[in-house]
């Protein structure tokens, strides 16, 4: 065997090994960017400035409860990648959180590579991930033991529960423009406790992502952002960037990922039963579906 042939064989084996390694990488839903003391309001503003400095557009922000702010950002890679797959618009924005935990302020964000695979997008958003790290830093990935890209692309929490390609169809209209107007009007009215946080239009496609805040009390508390997170976001490092929830207008239809999928993608290791488990928010998926459907002009039993 010639020396050149041996070198080519080694390079080929290295390539195979690298590919196998990539396929086995365990992805986690969130990235902890920084933590430490500081002024909360100043940290929020500094975070926004850092994101803009790296070329992100701040689409909107809100405080779901005291001591927490979520900032939604988008960029050209997210908007164009979102256009390449069915319902890819769910990944047209990433979420950055600033959370006060005792005397510490945590800055975290959704992992773009994790979300791109969970939402079956036509790309892995690695450039977006690199830009977020450059803007905010990175201490560690967190939020789960981890899932491979292959498993994420066919993920559901357990037997009988929804996949990504089984969203709720909240309403159907005569056109994309009509659907957009109905969603904007419903969110502005806030009659069912659902209001707009941000809007991102997918590049070159009749598709728009809305981030929505949800507030409820009494009989409607099960759709409330604060209530849900108080039950399931109990670990020391907070997954505040799970919020806000999403509505997608695609052509003439209005969709939302069913909560048993949407919540589980952020908390895939959460127990089914026991303290701080999905059992504690058992009524949340239907409460969310109902509130979103009514908000966008759909029927209470919209599926």
| pLDDT digits 0-9 by tens, 172-229 | 999 999 999 999 999 999 999 999 999 999 999 999 999 999 999 998 999 999 999 9
Q: Are 208 and 255 in contact (CB under 8 A)?
A: no
Average pLDDT, whole number, for the chain? 92
Q: Are 259 and 228 in contact (CB under 8 A)?
A: no
CATH number for the domain that contains residue 279: 3.30.310.70
Provide the residue range defining the domain that includes 290: 26-295
Q: Is position 263 within any domain?
A: yes
Cα–Cα distance between 49 and 26 in angstroms, integer?
31
CA distances from 276 to 100, 231, 233, 261 (A): 20, 5, 8, 18
Using pLDDT thresholds of 50, 70 and 90, give the confidence band for residue 14.
very low
Tens-place pLDDT, residues 137-170: 999 999 999 999 999 999 999 989 999 999 999 9
Rounded to the nearest 10°, the torsion over CA 233, 198, 214, 66 is 50
Give pLDDT, residue 276. 81
Is the model's pLDDT at 263 over the cut of 70? yes
Quick one: which of 141, 77, 86 has its CA closest to 108?
141
What is the number of residues in the chain? 303
Is the model's pLDDT at 36 over the cut of 80? yes
Q: How many domains is the chain built from?
A: 1
Q: Is position 49 within any domain?
A: yes
Q: Which residue has the higher pLDDT, 7 or 47?
A: 47
Residues 6+ apart with CB under 8 A from 260: 157, 161, 162, 285
Q: Is position 6 within any domain?
A: no
Q: Is position 276 within any domain?
A: yes
Give pLDDT, residue 99. 98
Rg from Cα positions in the chain: 20
Q: Is position 288 within any domain?
A: yes
Q: Is position 59 within any domain?
A: yes
Q: Are 271 and 277 in contact (CB under 8 A)?
A: yes
Q: Is position 14 within any domain?
A: no
Is the model's pLDDT at 4 over the cut of 90? no
Q: What number is the average pLDDT over the span 2-21? A: 43
Q: Is position 2 within any domain?
A: no
């Amino acid at each position: 065997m010639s020396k050149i042939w041996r070198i080519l064989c080694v390079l080929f084996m290295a390539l195979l090994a690298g590919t196998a390694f990539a396929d086995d990488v365990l992805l986690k839903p969130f990235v902890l960017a920084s933590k430490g003391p500081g002024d909360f309001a100043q940290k929020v503003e500094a975070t926004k400035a850092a994101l803009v400095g790296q070329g992100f557009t701040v689409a909107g922000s809100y405080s779901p409860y005291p001591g927490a702010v979520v900032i939604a950002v988008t960029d050209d890679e997210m908007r164009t990648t979102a256009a390449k797959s069915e319902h890819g618009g769910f990944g047209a924005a990433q979420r950055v959180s600033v959370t006060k935990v005792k005397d510490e302020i945590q800055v975290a964000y959704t992992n773009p590579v994790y979300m791109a695979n969970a939402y079956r997008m036509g790309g892995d958003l690695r450039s977006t991930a690199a830009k977020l790290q450059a803007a905010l830093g990175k201490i560690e990935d967190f939020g789960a033991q981890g899932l491979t890209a292959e498993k994420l692309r066919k993920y559901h929490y357990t037997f009988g529960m929804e996949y990504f390609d089984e969203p709720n169809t909240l309403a159907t209209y005569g056109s994309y423009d009509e659907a957009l107007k109905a969603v904007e009007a419903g969110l502005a009215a806030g009659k069912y406790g659902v209001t707009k946080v941000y809007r991102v239009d997918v590049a070159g496609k009749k598709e728009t992502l809305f981030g929505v805040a949800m507030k409820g009390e009494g009989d409607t508390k099960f759709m409330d952002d604060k209530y849900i997170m108080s039950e399931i976001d109990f670990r020391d490092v907070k997954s505040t960037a799970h919020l806000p929830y999403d509505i997608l207008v695609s052509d003439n239809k209005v969709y939302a990922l069913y909560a048993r999928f949407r919540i589980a993608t952020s908390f895939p290791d959460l127990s089914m039963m026991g303290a701080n488990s999905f059992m504690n928010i058992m009524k949340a998926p239907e409460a969310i579906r109902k509130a979103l459907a009514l908000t966008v002009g759909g029927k209470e039993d919209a599926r």
